[in-house]
A = this chain, B = another copy of it.
């Protein structure tokens, strides 16, 4: 048994160290509109001028055998960026490279108003110039270390980890560095990221959309805007809204998968209630099934996979969870025999 474990570990190291061959890579933007700023307070004393807002930055890698598979678009959650999917806090390969090594074209999107997508600073500058009151400043979401620990379910309370927790808690400081201000409150309604995700699927002539937490239901919301090129919906740990029957009918035409980790009801206090989030998504999955759709709830503890946090793509068993998703894509989106 021990020998098997060692063999598996060495195989995994060899896999990680094998050179990666990329057919093409790069970055581009989806969406974006021009906004004219006034002379007074528009640009921090720089005078009037036009800026571009609501664009979404997308970074991609297409492996040499990428044309055999449907592209996967990964969108991060609140107070995070596409760093979510890259090297884990404890320095292992993230899902973005893991998927590429499994021959998937991978597209990482920074949500509109976050990270390399930029944000609309005009309200901020107008308040500074005194043309609008401070109360109109955007509500900037900032997840503290304390918030992250409990909302991301590293343990029952700040500083105390779950004994069976899968998050690499010794490297939690590296996760804290990933947490950046969330300016989604500066965005118009509907959130342009949704339209941009649907447009990205069109540009790619077909894509699986994956969201997490804040963006967990974005794939479905993008499909409600334009389902034409969305080949699969993967939603990780979020609340599921109560969709109308005609909306469920749209979703039911696209293979859908929802994933939740462990310890949903084991955290004391905090703004999140993951137990009720799971309930809402169980209802959503059932509604899609009732409409004849292909929907699946992967509630990991029920599948025998224990201890996963909210940041499950960074958990120690992240490769195992990635394989679950890859197999689901193979079987449900690409209709291939499971690997």
Residues of A within 8 A of B (CB): 17, 19-29, 32, 34, 37, 42-46, 48-52, 55, 57, 59, 64, 81-83, 86-87, 91, 93-94, 97, 110, 115-119, 121-122, 124-125, 127-128, 130, 134-135, 137-147, 173-174, 176-181, 271
Find out whether the CB atom of A52 lies under 8 angstroms from the CB atom of B176.
Answer: yes
Find out whether the CB atom of B144 lies under 8 angstroms from the CB atom of A51.
Answer: yes
CA distance A271 to B86 in the complex (A): 38
Count copies of this chain in the complex. Answer: 2
Contacts of A134 on B, CB cut-off 8 Å? 127-128, 130, 134
Find out whether the CB atom of A82 lies under 8 angstroms from the CB atom of B144.
Answer: no
Find out whether the CB atom of B49 lies under 8 angstroms from the CB atom of A144.
Answer: yes
CA distance A42 to B181 in the complex (A): 12
Given contact pairs A59-B86, A116-B82, A124-B124, A142 touches B181 in the complex (Cβ within 8 A): no
Shortest CB distance A147–B (Å): 6
Contacts of A28 on B, CB cut-off 8 Å? 87, 91, 174
Shortest CB distance A140–B (Å): 5
Contacts of A43 on B, CB cut-off 8 Å? 142, 144
Contacts of A29 on B, CB cut-off 8 Å? 174, 177-178
Find out whether the CB atom of B86 lies under 8 angstroms from the CB atom of A27.
Answer: yes
Shortest CB distance A209–B (Å): 21
Find out whether the CB atom of B137 lies under 8 angstroms from the CB atom of A180.
Answer: no
Find out whether the CB atom of A37 lies under 8 angstroms from the CB atom of B142.
Answer: yes
Find out whether the CB atom of B179 lies under 8 angstroms from the CB atom of A52.
Answer: yes
Find out whether the CB atom of B32 lies under 8 angstroms from the CB atom of A25.
Answer: no
Shortest CB distance A131–B (Å): 10
Contacts of A17 on B, CB cut-off 8 Å? 24
Contacts of A137 on B, CB cut-off 8 Å? 124, 127-128
Given contact pairs A26-B94, A177-B55, A44 touches B141 in the complex (Cβ within 8 A): yes
